[in-house]
Structure 1
Amino acid sequence: MVADQSDNVLTLASRIPAHSLKPTSNNRNRHLLDVANAHAQLRQYAEALDTFQKIRTGSPEWLPNQQYARDVLGRVLSGRRTLTSEMRELAEVVQLPL
């Protein structure tokens, strides 16, 4: 994501065996936030939300402390006219004001 090349991020992410890192690993979670961000930049909002759910499931206590998560989720939600209950729950988890 440093080079702002979302397509390359998703290509590289598909090659990383996510199961090799513990769900509570900070490195894994930061990687998944980068993946969610890449999906958001490509307007693949469903995929971004799925990635957030993976992080939430594996590390529910880690996610609320991440400004990056609020930033990415904020971009995802700003493009939506209506919010689903899942979106509202994620916004609450990351402490994103609606």
Structure 2
Amino acid sequence: LGDYKAVIRSHVEAFVKDYTAYFETNDALDDVKRTMLDPMPRLTLVPGLGMFGHGRTLKDAKIASDVGEMWIEAVRGAEAVGNFHPLSKADLFPLEY
């Protein structure tokens, strides 16, 4: 279990680092002062096990899971009629903030 914890910790730390860089890069593009959202991941996909929602409360974790399930359905729907192309990080930032 110790090795598993180390791997998870490493992935979470990398996610937080990447999210922080994403926020700082995009926030600097204008004069609007924003507060960064909590950079912790809200969903984890584990091959062979499934998708897990995370949050500060059980309700938050359930909401994250619901959003993840809706996202999967949206991607499947897009792929059924063509190709799914996610927004770029630059285009996503104004929607998130």
Q: Which has the higher strand share?
A: 2
Structure with max Cα Rg: 2
Same fold, judged at TM 0.5 (above): no
Q: Which has the higher helix share?
A: 1
Q: Which has the higher contact order (CA 8 A, sep 6+)?
A: 1
- With structure 2 as the length reference, what TM-score do the two structures score? 0.25
